[in-house]
């Protein structure tokens, strides 16, 4: 019985092999080539997937490099651009000096104030024997958006903090020395104004102020003082 089953199994194996040979023998060359192409295509797809995975990895690496480059450029920019409020060594002896001045934006003192044209570019510094430092500035009318106006009052912040209520309450009013006539009003307007440099700002490159303007504005500004180019004068 077992011998017959073994013979039958062998006969089935032989028949299967013969059928396979017959299929190959009766298949056209194009059909065989198509089967080969299918196998090659499958292999190629696998290769493409692997390449795509590698490309994704490369993209991630490039992105990290770009981020690092951006961070480096930002750091370099911070190093190149100094703090706008600079510490200076005035070392001016007691005397009188002509000094370049400019009105800058209080929020970003690297930029000129919108009202910068109302301040003359030369100021008068007086250093007293007791260390008191005053700055006399000269003012003119301001034209803006078809309107004409003038500074009528100046308050001086005593520190570089200009945002707190204490800073506003601590404003020290500057002194109007002379007045001028204007074409748009019968009232005389301030021409020369003297302010005292606060102790906390004597080693800085300027002073913060709050102005009253007859155009209905009360802007803040920074008067930049170029101590390095101060020239002694005799009055």
**DSSP assignments along 200-213, one per residue:** GGTTBSEEEEEEEE
For position 98, what pLDDT does the model report?
98
Q: 101 and 122 in contact (C-beta within 8 Å)?
A: yes
What are φ and ψ of residue 88, in 5° steps? Answer: -130, 155
Return the H-helix or E-strand segment holding 18: helix 2-26
For position 87, what pLDDT does the model report?
67
- Summary mean pLDDT of the chain: 76
Question: pTM here?
Answer: 0.64
pLDDT tens digits along 46-85: 444 444 444 444 434 444 554 454 444 444 333 333 345 6
For position 74, what pLDDT does the model report?
41
Q: Is the pLDDT of residue 88 over 80?
A: no
Q: Which of 208, 132, 139 is nearest to 170 (CA)?
A: 208
For position 70, what pLDDT does the model report?
42
Q: Which of 82, 100, 132, 127 is nearest to 206 (CA)?
A: 100
CA distance 197 to 208: 10
Q: Is the pLDDT of residue 5 over 70?
A: no
pLDDT tens digits along 93-136: 999 999 999 999 999 999 999 999 999 999 999 999 999 999 99
For position 186, what pLDDT does the model report?
96
Binned at pLDDT 50, 70 and 90, residue 45 comes out as: very low
């Amino acid at each position: 019985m077992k011998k017959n089953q073994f013979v039958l199994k062998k006969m089935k194996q032989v028949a299967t092999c013969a059928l396979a040979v017959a299929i190959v023998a009766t298949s056209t060359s194009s059909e065989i080539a198509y089967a080969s192409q299918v196998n090659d295509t499958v292999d190629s797809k696998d290769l493409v997937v692997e390449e795509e995975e590698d490309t994704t990895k490369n993209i991630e690496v490039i992105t990290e490099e770009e981020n690092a480059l951006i961070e480096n450029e930002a750091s370099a920019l911070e190093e190149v651009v100094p703090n706008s409020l600079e510490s200076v060594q005035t070392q001016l002896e007691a005397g009188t000096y002509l000094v370049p001045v400019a009105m800058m934006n209080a929020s970003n003192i690297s930029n000129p104030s919108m009202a910068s044209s109302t301040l003359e570019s030369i100021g008068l510094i007086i250093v007293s024997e007791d260390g008191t430092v005053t700055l006399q500035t000269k003012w003119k009318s301001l034209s803006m958006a078809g309107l004409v106006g003038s500074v009528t009052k100046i308050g001086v912040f005593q520190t570089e903090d200009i945002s707190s209520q204490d800073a506003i309450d601590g404003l020290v009013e500057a002194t109007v020395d002379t007045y001028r006539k204007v074409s748009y009003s019968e009232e005389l307007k301030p021409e020369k104004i003297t302010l005292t440099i606060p102790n906390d700002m004597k080693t800085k490159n300027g002073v913060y102020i709050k102005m009253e303007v007859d155009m209905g504005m009360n802007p803040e500004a920074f008067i930049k003082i170029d101590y390095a180019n101060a020239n002694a004068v005799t009055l």
